[in-house]
């Protein structure tokens, strides 16, 4: 109960301080709305925000799935050869440190389908943690167990499936938790660059339009929805990790 109530209490205190500061200083709504104004916008614009959220989540989940598949496959290749890893890892790092906002326009221009372009941009943002963590996990095996597998003439495939992959799961899920948030961030950035409107618009477009129209309550409401979506994705990744690791890995057995 303490794990649940403590953050809720902190959130209530933060909202109370926010409301008090805005009310006592008589801050205009078009500058900083009060929590009550944001709550009203959430209720009044719920249909608009929910529709935009579904568009953003669809792209983010597709991008996360693409990053997972691509990142795991690249990690499997890296772990087979140090030479390959040393040859390709700098380019993976280069991809990570390149700002998505600088290359998103090119991807949007080159890709004929807008959804595909948004997915590619978001997947690029979420890819590196999967590669780095999974590669580290595949290499972080117990040397004694590795010698035991060699002693029994285990094939490379058997060693990969029965030793390296189980050892890499905690690292993989750590990367998944990071990449889930990065996929959402990449989606929002790509939507800002694309500037899509109409029925295909996501939360980024709603934030942009609310800022232009000085509709601060809707802007804060959209930010709140994005925050909730990010927390939900992280919680989902944590739940999957707990479900997969409990009963055999010390990180979850100790916290059970």
pLDDT value for 126: 94
- Two tokens, residue 187: 């989606």
Residue 197 has pLDDT above 60, yes or no: no
- Separation of alpha carbons 29 and 18, rounded Å: 13
Q: pLDDT tens across 49-63, in order? A: 999 999 999 999 999
Residue 2 has pLDDT above 90, yes or no: no
Say which CATH topology domain 37-253 has: MetI-like fold (1.10.3720)
Whether 230 contacts 181, CB under 8 Å? yes
Angle between helix 2-24 and helix 35-44 axes, rounded to 10 deg: 110
Q: What is the 3-state secondary structure (H, E, C) of 49-107?
A: HHHHHHHHHHHHHHHHHHHHHHHHHHHHHHHHCHHHHHHHHHHHHHHHHCCHHHHHHHH
Q: pLDDT tens across 61-76, in order? A: 999 999 999 999 999 9
Query: Per the confidence metrics, is the pTM higher than 0.85?
Result: yes
- Separation of alpha carbons 7 and 12, rounded Å: 9
Q: Which residue has the higher pLDDT, 253 or 219?
A: 219
- Separation of alpha carbons 195 and 205, rounded Å: 6
> For the ranges 11-20, 105-114, 168-177, which has the lowest average pLDDT?
105-114
- Separation of alpha carbons 218 and 210, rounded Å: 6
Q: How confident is the model at residue 92 (pLDDT cuts 50, 70, 90)?
A: confident
Nearest to 191 by CA among 42, 59, 4, 14: 59
pLDDT cut 70: percent of the chain above it? 95
Place of tokens 């989902």: 236
Please, what is the average pLDDT of the chain?
A: 89
Nearest to 236 by CA among 46, 60, 31: 60
């Amino acid at each position: 109960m303490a794990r649940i109530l403590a953050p809720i209490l902190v959130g209530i205190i933060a909202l109370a301080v926010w409301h008090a500061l805005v009310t006592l200083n008589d801050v205009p709504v078009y500058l900083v709305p009060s929590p009550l104004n944001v709550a009203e916008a959430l209720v009044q614009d719920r249909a608009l925000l929910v529709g935009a959220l579904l568009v953003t989540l669809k792209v983010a989940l597709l991008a996360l799935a693409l990053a997972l598949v691509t990142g795991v496959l690249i990690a499997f290749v890296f772990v087979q050869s140090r030479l390959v890893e040393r040859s390709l890892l700098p380019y993976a790092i280069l991809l990570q440190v390149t700002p998505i906002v600088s290359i998103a326009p090119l991807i949007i221009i080159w890709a004929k389908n807008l959804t595909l372009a948004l997915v590619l941009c978001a997947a690029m943002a979420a890819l590196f943690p999967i590669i780095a963590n999974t590669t580290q996990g595949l290499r972080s095996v117990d040397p004694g167990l590795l010698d035991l597998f060699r002693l029994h003439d285990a094939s490379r495939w058997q060693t990969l499936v029965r030793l390296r992959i189980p050892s890499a799961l905690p690292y993989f899920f750590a990367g998944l938790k990071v990449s889930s948030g990065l996929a959402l961030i990449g989606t929002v950035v790509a939507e800002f660059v694309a500037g899509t409107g109409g029925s295909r618009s996501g939360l980024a477009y709603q934030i942009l339009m609310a800022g232009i129209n000085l509709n601060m309550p809707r802007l804060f409401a959209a930010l709140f929805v994005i925050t909730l979506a990010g927390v939900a994705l992280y919680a989902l990744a944590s739940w999957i990790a707990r479900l997969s690791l409990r009963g055999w890995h010390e990180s979850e057995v100790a916290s059970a």
